[in-house]
Amino acid sequence: MLIGVPKEIKNNEYRVGLIPASVRELILHGHQVVVESEAGIGIGMDDDAYRAVGAEIVGDARAVFEKAEMVVKVKEPQPTECRLLREGQLLFTYLHLAPDPNQTELLLNAGVTAIAYETVTDRHGGLPLLVPMSEVAGRMSIQAGAMCLEKSHGGAGLLLGGVPGVAPANVLVIGGGVVGTNAIRMAMGLEARVTVLDRSLERLAELDLQFGGRLNTIYSTKEALEEYVLDADLVIGAVLVPGAATPKLVTREMLGRMRPGSVLVDVAIDQGGCFETSHATTHADPTYIVDNIVHYCVANMPGAVARTSTFALNNATLPFALALADKGFPRALADDPCLLEGLNLHKGRVTYEAVASALGYDYLPAREALAL
């Protein structure tokens, strides 16, 4: 199969669909890969790195889209890219179609077969192509929070781990899923005092087993939330209620009762945020202060560490990309119900129920669409 990798054109996107190591694997499987010139430059991979593993470098995106049978990207295609796609071609990338009627219409008109990273599942019902970005964001949240606790960023002037003779800071992680677990790990590594709140007893038990007595696991009630938020120097918002808006767990009223200079990092901001006073920020201007509390609410945290994020994403996407290239998409999708869950659009039809219902399209189950 001929696989194409365009340079990402979304504002401030430095990641790339395939790293040279992934290209090498595809070529070892007998496929050809065309890469747009400088596609990997944002992660320090120049054209020679791709040439060295056997990729063909082409001068512009149009040439990639014209040649490729499968286009592998990171972000949803921008309007100019949508217009370069066609029926019979496969697009494998993050799509997030439900809130994006414009993109959906353009891709339906193109007739392209589109598999969305974010809806591919695993055997346990998890979302394996979202996990790497949650891991990155969870680990980054402590790094970002530690920086915000410094005086120059409006923080209380605390070092997370303290020093001998001076107490460490209190870190509260709300939501002990993928983001939360990675935040806990980093906070413990810096020797802060760490508490996690979760609504799932099962999850708390798993965290207790994983981290032992060094982690304080607390069942999340309104009472517990108030008690631990008011005593925290750094709060990480990492909750997710699948299919629902994120609950506003920390209210504005509570801010006034926290210690001045404490920090809120709302990782869940991409789903609306779990602090009442959160609004999305960017890496260019990541923080703001409300009632003496520093807020860090960057909606696309992994973008700042594009190189790590790209490698992590490739580790998760490569097995699927290989299956799609080796078998062709009809066979690969028919063989793997988890990959089939990723099919969002095929031949002008919406094949993912939540996207169809969000945007008012008729829904055609993926298996029926593939038989068209």
Catalytically active residues, by annotation = 96, 270
How remote is the C-alpha of 288 from its chain's centroid?
A: 23
72: amino acid identity, one letter: V
Q: What is the DSSP letter of 249?
A: -
335 within 8 A of 327, measured Cβ to Cβ: yes
Asked if 300 is part of the footprint of ligand NAD (rule: CB under 6 A), the reply reads yes
219 phi and psi, to 5 degrees?
-70, 135
Minimum gap (Å) between residue 198 Cβ and ligand NAD: 4
Q: What is the DSSP letter of 288?
A: E
Helix (H) / strand (E) element for 173: namely strand 170-174
Site for ligand NAD in 280-299 (CB under 6 A): 299
* Alpha carbon separation from 31 to 3, 52, 69, 313 (Å, rounded): 7, 15, 11, 21
Q: How far apart are CA 261 and CA 99, in angstroms?
A: 35
Asked if 220 is part of the footprint of ligand NAD (rule: CB under 6 A), the reply reads yes
299 labelled ligand-binding: yes
Asked if 178 is part of the footprint of ligand NAD (rule: CB under 6 A), the reply reads yes
Question: What tokens were used for 109?
Answer: 């008109």
Q: Which is nearer to ligand NAD, 167 or 201 (CB)?
A: 201
Span interacting with ligand NAD, options 10-18, 45-53, 268-276, 281-289, rule CB under 6 A: 268-276
268 within 8 A of 301, measured Cβ to Cβ: no
Q: Which of 36, 81, 270, 336 binds ligand NAD (CB under 6 A)?
A: 270
Total interface residues for ligand NAD by CB under 6 A: 31
Q: Which of 19, 74, 156, 174 binds ligand NAD (CB under 6 A)?
A: 174
Burial of 347 (0-12, 13-18, 19+ CB in 10 A): middle
Asked if 177 is part of the footprint of ligand NAD (rule: CB under 6 A), the reply reads yes
Minimum gap (Å) between residue 334 Cβ and ligand NAD: 29
* Alpha carbon separation from 359 to 97, 111, 362 (Å, rounded): 9, 17, 9
175 within 8 A of 238, measured Cβ to Cβ: yes
Site for ligand NAD in 186-205 (CB under 6 A): 197-200, 203
Q: Which is nearer to ligand NAD, 71 or 298 (CB)?
A: 298
Asked if 176 is part of the footprint of ligand NAD (rule: CB under 6 A), the reply reads yes
Asked if 143 is part of the footprint of ligand NAD (rule: CB under 6 A), the reply reads no
309 labelled ligand-binding: no
Q: How far apart are CA 318 and CA 109, in angstroms?
A: 28
For ligand NAD, what does the binding mask look like between residues 101 and 140, x meaning CB under 6 A? --------------------------------xx--x---
294 phi and psi, to 5 degrees?
-80, 130
Which position's Cβ is nearest ligand NAD? 177
Contacting residues for 40 by C-beta, under 8 A, at least 6 apart: 16, 19, 20, 46, 47, 49, 50
Asked if 239 is part of the footprint of ligand NAD (rule: CB under 6 A), the reply reads yes
Site for ligand NAD in 327-356 (CB under 6 A): none
Span interacting with ligand NAD, options 165-173, 264-272, 330-338, 352-360, rule CB under 6 A: 264-272
Asked if 172 is part of the footprint of ligand NAD (rule: CB under 6 A), the reply reads no
* Alpha carbon separation from 243 to 98, 126, 246 (Å, rounded): 12, 14, 9
Burial of 107 (0-12, 13-18, 19+ CB in 10 A): buried
Which residue ranges are tagged as binding site?
15, 75, 134, 198, 203, 220, 239-240, 267-270, 298-301
The contact set with ligand NAD (CB under 6 A) reads: 133-134, 137, 174-180, 197-200, 203, 220, 238-241, 247, 249, 267-271, 299-302
Which residue ranges are tagged as binding site for substrate?
15, 75
